[in-house]
Amino acid sequence: MVLHTAVKKSSLGTSIAKYVKRDYQIYILLLPILAVVVIFSYIPMYGVIIAFKNFRFNEGILGSEWVGLQHFKRFVTMPQFRMVLQNTLSISLYSIAVNFPAPILLAIFLNECVFSRFKKTVQLVSYAPHFISTVVMCGMILLFLNRSNGMVNNLLEALGFARIDFMTEPKMFQSIFVLTELWQRLGWNSIIYLAALSSVDPQLIEACAIDGASRFQKIIHVDMPSLQPTIIILFILTLGSLLNVGFEKILLLQNGLNMPTSDVISTYVYRVGLINGQYSYTAAIGIFNSVVNFVLLVTVNRIVNKMSGVSLW
């Protein structure tokens, strides 16, 4: 048995050496990429241990006091934990419920559209907001929703309604965030579904037409099965980043009055970690965030794999 294993390892090593020697130019091109990944992704992992220490600059990472899970306990027992976690989950789930199916519907609509000029116009209008930077987008949102001279309030007043200070109403913040995300990401996110629809076998479409299937029946029985693998993979990835809510946009739209519904884990980490300098504490929050996302990713992937046979691995 030992001899057989040694022979297999020797054979494997010979095969690898043969392929490396044959395609050495490709492996040379791969070296800078591997170096970047190691330098910027793996070596910094060493710093994660500050989550288990009371990090001080003058003592360094290794010299700082080891405190174990103290920072994790502090996070889950702090008074704001429930509010911050609830806000993060509610914004994320709200965004998934609205922004995940919308690009699928748009892609199906564009795929079925027979008027080329109208189709191109819709694509241009829906894709354009994606190329606006987050800072500019937030500035536009604040201008549109301004109570004194914002476009939305001017329209409300013209229709006979009272003006509303949208950005100071906590109950409106999450809807503003999600709907403006839909406006900015809808067209761009539909591209991958359009690509999947373009690979549908034309013979299936011809068979539907011969059988007398309506356009809706074609969408249900041909288009949706073709989209299913793409939808499942993207759904798994989306749920695997459930706690990663858009930090930059929330921070730019956040103010003291809408804080009860706008304060999420990422903004809390920024405020406590970078502004107040509690690096060990916020490193622990980051690990908590990553572990929860990882568990969700593995769990959802396994469940979906058993239900549909499609999964990430």
Region 8-18: what's the mean pLDDT? 65
List of domains in the chain: 2-66 (no CATH), 70-308 (1.10.3720.10)
Residue 3 has pLDDT above 50, yes or no: no
Phi, psi of 199 (to 5 degrees): -95, 5
Take residue 75 and report the two structure tokens written for it.
């996070």
One-letter amino acid at 278 equals Q
Region 152-175: what's the mean pLDDT? 92
Region 149-176: what's the mean pLDDT? 92
Mean predicted lDDT score pLDDT of the chain = 88
Tell me the pTM. 0.84
Residues above pLDDT 90, as percent of the chain: 59
CB 153 within 8 A of CB 164: yes
pLDDT of residue 215: 85
Residues 186-214: tens digit of each pLDDT: 999 999 999 999 888 888 888 888 888 88
Residues 277-311: tens digit of each pLDDT: 888 999 999 999 999 999 999 999 999 989 888 88
Other beta carbons less than 10 A from residue 163's beta carbon: 15
Burial (Cβ within 10 Å: 0-12, 13-18, ≥19) of residue 122: middle
Cα separation, 96 vs 242, in Å, equals: 9
Across the chain, the runs of DSSP E, i.e. the strands, are 53-56, 64-66
Give how far Cα 54 sits from Cα of 43, 64, 290, 297, Å: 21, 6, 20, 30
- Decide which of 14 and 196 is more confident: 196
Phi, psi of 200 (to 5 degrees): -65, 135
CB 252 within 8 A of CB 138: yes
Look at residues 166, 141, 140 and name the one whose alpha carbon lies nearest to residue 153: 166
Residue 4 has pLDDT above 90, yes or no: no
Q: Band the pLDDT of 10: cuts 50, 70, 90.
A: low
- Decide which of 193 and 9 is more confident: 193
Look at residues 277, 280, 278, 274 and name the one whose alpha carbon lies nearest to residue 247: 274
Look at residues 226, 229, 231, 227 and name the one whose alpha carbon lies nearest to residue 204: 226
